[in-house]
Amino acid sequence: MNSNFTPVSKSISAFIFDLDGIIVETTHYHYLSWKELAKSFGYDFQEEDNENLKGANRTTSLNILLDLAGISVSDQEKKRLRHQKNEIYQDLIKHMTPADTLPGVIRFIRDSKELGLRTALASSSENAIRTIERLKLTHLFDRMLDANTVAKGKPDPQIYLQIAADLGVGPFSAIVFEDAANGIEAAKKAGMHVVGMGSADQVKDADLIIKSFEDLDPKDIIDHFQRSAL
C-alpha cells in the first residue's frame, strides 16, 4: 500500500479527471508540438523524451526540454518559445471533435453524474478548458481548473486541493483519474485516492489501475474504495 494512503470516507462525493490521456488523447499532439519547437533550436526531440513531460505544465515542460537540449535562454526567450509551442499545438488540435475522446469516458462521466457525484476537470495544461469547450463537453463538469488559474503545476497538490474546495468536498471524499506519475503524486499529496490509466510504469503508484473506461461502472469504483476504507 502506498505510504501516502489516506482512508477514504464511505461517502464518496466527487470524481476529478485529468484531461490528457484520460478524457482525450492529446499527448501525441503535445509531443508533435514540442518536437516541432525543438527543431527550431536544433534538438531532435524523441518520444522517450516526451515521457519526462507528461503531467507537467508548459513552463516546466519547456525547462525540461531546454535541459535535454543543453540550452540556456533568457526568460523573455522562454516566454516566446512557450507562445510558439502553443501556436503549433492550437493549429494541430483545431479540428478535434467529441469523436476524439477516449472510449467510454463520456458515458462514464454521465453515469457518475446520474449517481449524484460532483465531477471536475483538473489539468496542468493551459489549453485544458479551451479543449473541453472545443469538444462541447463543458456540461459534464461542475468545476474546471487548468494551468491558467493555478500557479503551481503537478506534482504540487495545489490544483487538486483547489478543485476540491471549489466543489465543496473534502479531499478524502474525492477520487482522481490520472495517467501520469506527476498527477498521481499531486493527488496523493492532496490526500485523495487515485485511479490510474496508462502504462504500468507511469501509473504504478495509483491505488487502482484500469485499462479503459469501456464497460466500467462508476459504482464499481466507489465500491472498491469504500471496501478499502473498512
Q: What angle do CA 17, 9, 150 make, to 5 degrees?
A: 35
* 20 catalytic residue (yes or no): yes
Q: Return the closest-CA partner of residue 171 out of 212, 105, 132, 120.
A: 120
Torsion (CA) 13, 18, 19, 20 in degrees, nearest 10: -150
Under 8 Å CB-to-CB from 79, ≥6 apart: which residues? Answer: none
Look at residues 53, 12, 15 and name the one whose alpha carbon lies nearest to residue 34.
53
Who contacts 2 (Cβ-Cβ below 8 Å, separation ≥6)? 188, 205, 207
Task: Report which of 59, 17, 10, 29 is spatially closest to residue 144, judged by C-alpha positions.
Answer: 17
C-alpha cell of residue 214:
469501456
Encode 28-56: b = buried (16+ Cβ within 10 Å), e = exposed: ebbbebbbbbbeeeebebeeebbeebbbb
Residue 207 is among the residues annotated as catalytic for this protein? no
User: Of these residues, 20, 146, 179, 207, which one is catalytic?
Assistant: 20
Separation CA 85–CA 220 (nearest Å): 40
Catalytically active residues are: 18, 20
